[in-house]
């Protein structure tokens, strides 16, 4: 019989070689598949033993077809009662488009009609559709006037081995994992490299497939159903013979297995899933899973001997993740060079740029596809390092590169220039550096003994490897120059925020730090969000509010974590009202109030859309108002979109309606091209006070915000 095997793109050659090993001689590669000739036993053996194929299709009819009528007629060329019972169930997989069929659902419906009509006309009974466990799965493909009607012998895709009911965040399909193992050359070197280590093993797919490969375990042995299970042409005895043979080979292979397989991951939850998957595959006793961060991985903690390190690290689908992950890949490269000399490293990634920073030269590389993502498998032989070279490298690590030294010099210069101001004002948190050197485009803020670094996203035209090298200069220089441990330097990337990304968490540490500003105790979080809970550039306006708030009713709009409200309350305000949409930030605001012993009766928080809230308030009730709206917001909690340039007139007019005659509104925002509409706001006195609201740490960047003092005329 003629067979067609589908596979992921890039695996065609490997699949053809696998077929030859299974005894199938007549083969021909096509795109994402291999054609072959064989007996029914060959089809069964492929379904049971192929580690790389997705589907095994047995063509029942091949011919020409263009229209829906041609399709119907072609399907009826097959005698379907030779393949299924008259009241059986079927499922149709249809692909392709023609001038008469432009919808796969319509094509599948036409195929179903042709089969059902034929059987009903012959028997009076009719089959039905079953999308879960059909008796017969039919595959029909139309392309360039040609049609192929085939029986799907595999049923579900063969990559589903039945052991993985759960997976990690970015799972690798089982047949791709098998291909990575085969391409790595691990099995050929298994006598010399007894150890196989995956330091970021996730749900364990690579290691489970490795056991199955090394122990001669048929990948389809765990499956309960195939596409031929209820096919009327199924030869049960032949199939049972193949199953018995596979079970015997598994028992023998596991008994002889002496490879050491190690799985490490920092996520305890995903490791639990990996163990469960290994148990279902019947190989849990042959894999040592343990919790371990990559930075804590030490060669001395592993069994003696050489081995292969094989892994599929994160590759970063979201904008901004690449730079963060480059540190992971660089660390992996450094770890390999320092501790795993003589090993083979096989790194599979869908972002090859990340591997450029590992500092290793690939001996081989292969193009594979992870779904639609073009990916690379890099094979690195980790060379032995000479002692003198190693010593030189170790001493070089203590010294900074020329670029890092230039950056460090600027840090020292800035700190010296601000030293008197910091001491005089008792400033605990301040900006030390803000892209002063264009090549080192970061902002560096000090929060007591911790350093908060924000990298400004580089344009796409800039080589990401060069950008990363400069960022590494920054991260190398900061601990040395500022005298802080490296773990107290927190890196984030600041990019253009839009949509839900405006509010996206960076992590879930819940680590809050208390700082002091002008006698106010405030909580910051340097890890979980892009912003820390305290806008450092607003330090002077918060101080001004504190000095002017005695015996006044204070309103804080778009309050964020209500730090300005804390300053007002500490300055003697009769009451403070803080308005924001975010329950998270308002809870943070409440914690700030509690930290300073400020009661809830006179200091309230309101969860509301500020623009909408202003429209429904009546009567002048406040003596001092601070409003700092975002440049842009389309939060799902809002009605419509807020644009500060477009909407600032409505915002200011709404706030001024609530301001008493002698009161003051401080209006601020961070839009660099903001222009206040004096004509529309001509009923008010408007004074720009931006320069007076910038402390020395932000004088270098006077566009960090703009600020206005607004009062009633007369």
Which pairs count as long-range contacts for 161-164, CB under 8 Å and 24+ apart, including other chains?
A: 161/219, 161/220, 161/222, 161/223, 161/281, 162/222, 162/223, 162/224, 162/280, 163/208, 163/222, 163/277, 163/278, 163/280, 163/281, 164/203, 164/205, 164/208, 164/277, 164/280
- Residue 501 scores a pLDDT above 50: no
45: β partners: none
Greatest CA separation for the chain: 101
- Of the pLDDT bands very low, low, confident and very high (cuts 50, 70, 90), residue 647 is very high
- Of the pLDDT bands very low, low, confident and very high (cuts 50, 70, 90), residue 353 is confident
Which pLDDT score is estimated for 499? 39
Which pLDDT score is estimated for 498? 42
Residue 198, SS3 per DSSP: strand
Which pLDDT score is estimated for 398? 43
- Of the pLDDT bands very low, low, confident and very high (cuts 50, 70, 90), residue 500 is very low
483: left (phi over 0), alpha (psi -120 to 50) or beta: left
Residues near 589 by Cβ (< 8 Å), separated by ≥ 6? 559, 560, 561, 562, 565, 578, 580, 605
Instruction: Could you please state the CATH topology (level 3) that the domain comprising 174-220+250-386 is classified under.
Output: Rossmann fold (3.40.50)
- Of the pLDDT bands very low, low, confident and very high (cuts 50, 70, 90), residue 549 is very high
Rounded to an integer, the average pLDDT of 684-693 is 96
Rounded to an integer, the average pLDDT of 203-215 is 96
81: β partners: none
Rounded to an integer, the average pLDDT of 194-222 is 96
Which pLDDT score is estimated for 168? 62
474-493 pLDDT tens trace: 988 999 999 998 889 988 87
CATH 3.40.50.150 in the chain, residues? Answer: 174-220+250-386, 513-712
- Least-confidence region, from 182-196, 244-258, 458-472: 458-472
Phi, psi of 507 (to 5 degrees): -160, -170
Residues near 577 by Cβ (< 8 Å), separated by ≥ 6? 553, 554, 555, 556, 565, 604, 606, 622
Which pLDDT score is estimated for 93? 96
- Residue 387 scores a pLDDT above 90: no
Mean pLDDT (the chain) is: 91
Helix, strand and coil percent figures for the chain, each rounded to 5: 35, 25, 40
Classify domain 2-152 by CATH number.
Answer: 3.30.2130.30
121-169 pLDDT tens trace: 999 999 999 999 999 999 999 998 999 999 999 999 999 999 998 766 6
- Residue 506 scores a pLDDT above 70: no
- Of the pLDDT bands very low, low, confident and very high (cuts 50, 70, 90), residue 635 is low
98-120 pLDDT tens trace: 888 889 999 999 999 999 999 99
CATH 3.30.750.80 in the chain, residues? Answer: 399-495
- Residue 707 scores a pLDDT above 70: yes
- Of the pLDDT bands very low, low, confident and very high (cuts 50, 70, 90), residue 395 is very low
CA distance 510 to 515: 16
- Residue 509 scores a pLDDT above 70: no
CB 149 within 8 Å of CB 109? no
Instruction: Could you please state the CATH topology (level 3) that the domain comprising 513-712 is classified under.
Output: Rossmann fold (3.40.50)
Rounded to an integer, the average pLDDT of 529-538 is 93
- Residue 422 scores a pLDDT above 80: yes
CA distance 476 to 470: 10
Residue 577's closest CA among 623, 616, 544, 540?
623
Structure tokens at 410: 């600027």
Which pLDDT score is estimated for 460? 76
CA distance 532 to 509: 13
- Of the pLDDT bands very low, low, confident and very high (cuts 50, 70, 90), residue 317 is low
- Residue 508 scores a pLDDT above 60: no
632: β partners: 643
Classify domain 399-495 by CATH number.
Answer: 3.30.750.80
Rounded to an integer, the average pLDDT of 244-258 is 96
Which pairs count as long-range contacts for 436-445, CB under 8 Å and 24+ apart, including other chains?
A: 436/410, 436/700, 437/406, 437/407, 437/410, 439/403, 439/470, 440/403, 440/407, 440/470, 440/473, 440/474, 442/471, 442/474, 443/494, 444/411, 444/474, 444/478, 445/532, 445/536
Its pTM stands at 0.71
């Amino acid at each position: 019989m003629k067979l067609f095997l589908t596979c992921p793109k890039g695996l065609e050659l490997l699949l053809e070689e696998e077929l030859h090993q299974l005894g199938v001689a007549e083969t021909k590669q096509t795109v994402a598949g291999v054609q072959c000739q064989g007996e029914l036993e060959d089809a069964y053996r492929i379904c049971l033993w192929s580690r790389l194929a997705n589907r095994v299709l047995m063509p029942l009819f091949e011919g020409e077809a263009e229209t829906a009528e041609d399709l119907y007629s072609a399907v009826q060329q097959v005698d379907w009662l030779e393949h299924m019972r008259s009241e059986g169930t079927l499922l149709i997989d249809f692909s392709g488009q023609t001038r008469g069929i432009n919808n796969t659902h319509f094509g599948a419906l036409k195929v179903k009609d042709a089969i059902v009509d034929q059987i009903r006309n012959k028997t009076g009974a009719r089959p039905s559709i079953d999308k879960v466990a059909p008796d017969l799965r039919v595959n029909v493909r139309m392309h360039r006037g040609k049609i192929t009607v085939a029986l799907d012998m595999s049923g579900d895709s063969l990559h589903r081995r039945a052991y993985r009911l759960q997976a990690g965040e970015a799972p690798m399909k089982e047949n791709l994992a098998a291909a990575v193992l085969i391409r790595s050359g691990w099995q050929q070197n298994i006598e010399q490299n007894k150890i196989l280590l995956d330091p970021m093993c996730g749900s364990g797919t690579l290691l489970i497939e490795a056991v199955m490969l090394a122990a001669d375990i048929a990948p389809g042995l765990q499956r309960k159903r195939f596409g031929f299970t209820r096919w009327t042409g199924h030869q049960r005895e032949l199939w049972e013979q193949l199953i018995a043979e596979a079970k015997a080979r598994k028992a023998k292979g596991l008994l002889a297995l002496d490879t050491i397989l190690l799985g490490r991951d920092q996520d305890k939850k995903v490791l639990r899933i990996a163990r469960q998957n290994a148990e279902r595959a019947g190989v849990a006793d042959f894999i040592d899973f343990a919790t371990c961060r990559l930075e804590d991985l030490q060669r001395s903690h592993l069994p003696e001997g050489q081995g292969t390190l094989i892994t599929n690290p994160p590759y970063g689908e979201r904008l901004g993740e690449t730079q963060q992950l480059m540190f992971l890949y660089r660390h992996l490269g450094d770890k390999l060079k320092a501790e795993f000399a003589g090993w083979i490293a096989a790194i599979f990634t869908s972002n090859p740029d990340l591997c450029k920073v590992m500092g290793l030269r690939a001996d081989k590389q292969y193009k594979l596809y992870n779904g639609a993502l073009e990916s690379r498998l890099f094979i690195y032989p980790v060379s032995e390092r000479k002692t003198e070279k190693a010593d030189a490298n170790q001493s070089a690590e203590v010294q900074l590169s020329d670029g890092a030294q230039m950056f460090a010099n600027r840090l020292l210069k800035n700190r010296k220039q601000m030293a008197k101001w910091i001491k005089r004002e008792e400033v605990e948190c301040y900006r030390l550096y803000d892209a002063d050197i264009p090549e080192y485009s970061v902002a560096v803020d000090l929060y007591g003994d911790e350093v908060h670094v924000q990298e400004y996203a580089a344009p796409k035209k800039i080589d990401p490897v060069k950008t990363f090298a400069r960022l590494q200069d920054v991260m190398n220089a900061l601990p040395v120059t500022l005298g802080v441990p490296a773990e107290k330097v927190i890196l984030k990337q600041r990019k253009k925020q839009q949509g839900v990304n405006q509010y996206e968490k960076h992590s879930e540490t819940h680590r809050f730090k208390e700082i002091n500003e002008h006698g106010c105790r405030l909580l910051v979080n340097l890890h979980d969000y892009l912003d820390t809970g305290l806008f450092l550039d607003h330090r002077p306006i918060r101080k001004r509010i504190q000095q002017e708030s005695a015996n006044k009713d204070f309103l804080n709009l778009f309050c964020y974590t209500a730090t300005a409200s804390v300053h007002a309350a500490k300055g003697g305000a009769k009451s403070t009202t803080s308005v924001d949409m975010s329950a998270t930030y308002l809870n943070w605001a409440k914690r700030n109030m509690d930290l300073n012993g400020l009661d809830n009766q006179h200091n309230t928080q309101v969860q509301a859309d500020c623009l909408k809230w202003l429209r429904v308030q009546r009567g002048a009730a406040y003596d001092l108002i601070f409003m700092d709206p975002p440049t842009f917001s389309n939060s799902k909690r809002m009605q419509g979109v807020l644009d500060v340039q477009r909407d600032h007139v409505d915002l200011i007019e709404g706030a001024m309606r609530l301001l008493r005659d002698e009161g003051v509104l401080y209006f601020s925002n961070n839009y660099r091209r903001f222009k206040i509409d004096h004509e529309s706001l001509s009923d008010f006195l408007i004074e720009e006070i931006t320069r007076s609201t910038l402390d020395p740490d932000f004088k270098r960047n006077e566009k960090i915000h703009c600020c206005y003092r607004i009062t009633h005329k007369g």
